[in-house]
Amino acid sequence: MTDRADRAVVVVRAGALTTVQDLGRFGHAHLGVPRSGALDPSAARLVNRLVGNPEAAAVLETTVDGCALRTRCAVTVAVGGAPCPVRVGGRPAAWGRAVRVPAGSVLDVGAATHGLRAYVAFGGGVDVEPVLGSRSTDLLSGLGPASLVEETVLPLGPAPAARTAGQGAADAPPWPAPPRELVLRVRLGPREDWFTAAALHTLTTRAYRVSPTGNRIGLRLEGPALERARHDEPASEGMVLGAVQVPPDGRPVVFLADHPTTGGYPVVGVVREADLGAAAQAVPGTPVRFVRVR
């Protein structure tokens, strides 16, 4: 039997930004704590399903250039999200499928060939201490485990029971491709009256592009500025996931998982949550269109 202390992985290469994420920290916005969680929750659910975990188990979220980890125990692993090369002990391994990694081997998750963020699930999940009911790293508030650095030791939960034959379909789930064009369905409000009619027309008819300055807090966009009908600033008010806030330069910012819970710039609309997973995989320069819905 494997000793509990041996059920762990050690970071060999941390990558540009690798964090622990689950499906988020709900119900604490009134305390100033955002939801956080995986930016591409569908990908996180799928990799967990592949290794036999509950869908809310904690995984690793990598950014752009992946990460590498040495296992202290034999463990089943799955890498999904942004397509990338995967190697185990220096040999090529499958992406998007469950892979058995022997004890002492290095799992190397390479740079994304398309998209931005890969997700790494381990059988048993990443078993760091939960904070307010979640193991997610929140870059804005600093809650949860710190971003990974070399030699970080990540404990794993107990290995899940072997999957039954009826679960075999999870071996080849449908992986959506990272978007060539990001289409965001947006419902206008609550502050669309702070913008001119021409600005609202611009938002839903003109093309934007993903800016390289975005992060887990927000998707920043390049493109035409939105003209204000009012030039004062609203009182600070609550912000929700997908809010399209417009700072003084007029370029929209779409709030993602680590967004602030309050803000003082007007929100012209709110993007449907179902569209935000694709936003998490949109590389800088990706064309963006807003489509108005009711």
- Distance (Å, whole) CA 259 – CA 239: 8
Q: Kindly report the backbone phi and psi dihedral angles of residue 276, in degrees, each rounded to the nearest multiple of 5, phi listed first.
A: -80, -25
pLDDT-derived band at 14, boundaries 50, 70, 90: very high
Say what the pTM is.
0.94
- Distance (Å, whole) CA 279 – CA 116: 10
- 41-54 residue pLDDT tens: 999 999 999 999 99
**Strand, coil or helix: what is 128?**
coil
pLDDT at residue 35, as a whole number: 92
- 165-190 residue pLDDT tens: 334 444 555 677 888 999 999 999 99
CA 114 to chain centre: 15
Residue 85, Cβ neighbours under 10 Å: how many? 15
Separation in Å, CA 221 to CA 43, 213, 247, 255, 283: 24, 9, 11, 11, 11
**Taking the CA atoms of the chain, what radius of gyration do you get in angstroms?**
20
DSSP letter, residue 66: -
Domains in the chain, ordered, with CATH?
4-171 (no CATH), 182-292 (2.40.100.10)
